[in-house]
A and B are shown apart, each in its own frame.
With several copies, the nearest count.
Chain A
Amino acid sequence: FSSNATFDVEGSFETHMLDTAPETTVECSKEELLEMFELMYTMRRMEITCDNEYKARNIRGFCHLYDGQEAVATGINAAFDPEDSWITSYRCHCVALARGGSVSSVVGELFGNIDGYSRGKGGSMHFYNKANYFFGGAGIVGAQVPVGAGSAFANKYKSKPGEKMNVSVACFGDGAANQGQIWEAANMCNLWNLPMIFCIENNRYGMGTSIDRHSSIQDYYKMGNEIPGLRIDGMNVLAVKEGMRFAKEYCGSGNGPMYVEMMTYRYHGHSMSDPGTTYRNRDEIAFTRSTKDPLEFVKKCLVDAEFMTADEIKDMEKKIRKDVQKEVLKAKESPVPPHEELFKHIFATNLEPRSGGIEYPPHIRMPNYENSFWIDGKKE
């Protein structure tokens, strides 16, 4: 009994302007598949917890959930080296988790607590982890894409000629895909052969607008025009992994950028204020859940390969649910940021994370007159 198995991903890909293509089979070890499942299920549970906590008013503001799309981030994570750069949109909880966050640090951020991923200052849309090459979390649609191209630029800048380069991926939605700055970045990446992957998570809606109403090109993998493109079944984590391996290999070797389209689906509404059922019907959601769910898919792979029994999987799920609960409790215990945090981290004093002290502004309006006049951080 081998602890490796081979999975068929035939039909998971379409290519554009490419001579080669990803493999049609993927080999995967038990450990690896289990790891992917664990991550995906943790993501799922975390997002469902966020939904509950939001409804219990423990989370405020915007909150965009990723359930349904877990295979995308997980597959990218599996294909990437830790030094490959990653940036995404506001729908970023699960990438933050994949890139070195704990559930408690992610959920803690949403609670606005000091032990949150961004010390409670960023909230749902603003997770970053410089040490792990994770650059956000961006609240402005499309804006993360040129920034991601900057990572690709830096990778090339720092690489030695002839050496394989680390790549950069920027994830963005179908709704974002027509933002002009994305094309501007694509043009530069193509001109300068930057190791950049433009990754469209096509979940078929930008908020309440379906792709046919916001995009004249609905084959997103062809949006790069002369830039090669790859469409991947984004509900199949093995296909995502293989496709991204292929893209990383291609881009990292100095062939320039690639457009990658992930066919995926979001189960929740756009954000917590959107029920998500006015512009698409419940059948569509139910059908996707029952036929394409990315978690069910991995579970089936685990069983089919005889890596695990259904019962073992159930036990594992139970354990993960408990872990997530524990993490949430931990997050809740963290205190809210002290008031002085308000004036902390406005300016850095060096490039190390958390550099920079408290910078009282020269003049603060405060109820207390005594506290209201400052020069150079001291009372006048």
Chain B
Amino acid sequence: IDMAVREAICQGLDEEMERDENVFIMGEEVAQYQGAYKVTKGLFQKYGDKRVIDTPITEMGFTGLGVGASFHDLKPVIEFMTINFSMQAIDQVVNGAAKQFYMSGGDLACPIVFRGPNGFSAGTAAQHSQCFGAWYSSCPGLKVVSPYSSEDAKGLIKAAIRDPNPVMVLEHELMYGISFPMSDEAQSKDWVVPIGQAKIEREGTDVTIISFSKPVGLALEAAEVMATKGVSCEVINLLSLRPLDRKTIIASAKKTGRVVSLEQGWPQCGISSEIAAILMETDAFNYLDAPMERVTGADVPMPYAADLEKAALPQLEDVVAAIERTTYRSMAA
């Protein structure tokens, strides 16, 4: 069957709430309104106001409250209406949740899930379009995952809820309505996507395209285009930004010898930068036939006008061009 990403997340939440009565959902408009993007649809009806809780618009407060609740072995799932608003609460996420277990010498774990749509969403301009992949993934103690398909989305939210650590789930608003096939396994209550493992979405031999979240789709499109040109692309869907699956990245880079990274976020100190560093510092480097190319969002606050917005984001031509560059450009002797 096919299932939209929105429903896949909701199904994952539902199954985990059924499985463990300590799981509760908290956030703005998650209950009676069913979620600003309807991700939590039906859960308030099913679990009531004890476990599906509408909050005031006070991110710092309810994030801290969730952290405290998690100390009692409850499992809060905190929805940020968009991850942009987590900036108001980022001290609680990073200084509170992420560092907690370590600071306490292992006494006090913080099993909490943060989730919500991350990064670009059409026509919402600079304050509502920031990608937080790089920032959060830089923080030891936090796990950071980012699904692409419905199977990913369900499996990762379930993994996040079962994890005894703070996990940030970076979803993508423009993916909520997209449908993907769900395998039989993925439909089962036991479907969990392990955190820390990337997925090879498409095998290939000539170039590796590494991405996460929505642009994985763009990578797959680009791979199709390149196939018609006789270039075989391997597409890696990172799924987890921390821990980052260096093994898969390195193995694929060694295999194909060419790497293109692709993300919607800003370039400087982004996930692509980190991939460049990994390739530099490991023996993958010796297998590169061309330097890595990065394709990222433009280095500007997101503009509103449609044309500018398009120019600020990686498009198919950009990815294709980058792939082609890696085949022109090659290592210095």
Contacts and interface: CB of A to CB of B under 8 A. Distances in A.
Chain A–chain B contact at Cβ < 8 A: yes
Interface of A: 60-62, 85, 87, 109, 112-113, 116-126, 128-130, 135-136, 138-143, 145-155, 157-158, 168, 175-176, 178-181, 183-185, 187-188, 191, 206-209, 213-215, 278-279, 336-337, 339, 341-351, 353-356, 361-369, 372-373, 375-376, 380
**Residue among A155, A183, A188, A348 facing the most chain B CB atoms (10 A cut-off):** A348
Contact of B103 (A118, A146, A349): A118
Contact of B61 (A141, A187, A349, A355): A187
In the A-B complex, list the 10 residue pairs whose CB atoms are closest, starting with the nearest: A150-B68, A61-B123, A146-B64, A184-B61, A60-B123, A119-B105, A123-B304, A112-B305, A154-B72, A345-B106
A112 B36 contact: no
A181 B109 contact: no
A356 B307 CA distance: 21
Interface of B: 24, 28-29, 32-33, 36, 50, 54-58, 60-74, 76, 84-85, 88, 91-92, 95-96, 101-109, 111, 121-128, 140-141, 143, 164-165, 243-244, 246-247, 250, 267, 278, 281-283, 294-296, 298-301, 303-308, 311-312, 314-315, 317-318, 320-322, 325, 328
B2 to A, nearest CB: 24
A147 B304 contact: no
A159 B294 CA distance: 52
20 contacts: A61-B121, A120-B105, A120-B305, A122-B125, A123-B124, A126-B104, A139-B126, A140-B96, A143-B92, A147-B65, A184-B62, A206-B56, A214-B55, A350-B164, A351-B111, A361-B267, A367-B315, A369-B325, A369-B328, A373-B281
A191 B54 CA distance: 11
Contact of B318 (A191, A336, A365): A365
Most-contacted residue by chain B among A113, A136, A150, A179 (CB, 10 A): A150
Given A151-B72, A348-B111, 8 more contacts: A122-B105, A168-B68, A207-B28, A209-B28, A339-B307, A342-B312, A348-B109, A348-B165
A178 B68 contact: no
A208 B32 contact: yes
B96 A143 contact: yes
B320 A367 contact: yes
A356 B101 contact: yes
A125 B318 CA distance: 30
Contact of B123 (A62, A148, A176, A185): A62
B127 A364 contact: no
A353 B244 CA distance: 26
B303 A342 contact: yes
A367 B69 contact: no
A87 B100 CA distance: 14
B180 to A, nearest CB: 23
A128 B141 contact: no
A157 B125 CA distance: 33
B122 A150 contact: no
A154 B68 contact: yes
A337 B309 CA distance: 11
Nearest to B85: A140
A47 B321 CA distance: 43
A344 B305 CA distance: 14
Contacts of B250: 375
Given A60-B122, A345-B102, A380 B65 contact: no
B108 A369 contact: no
A325 B50 CA distance: 50
Contacts of B103: 118, 121-122, 126, 128
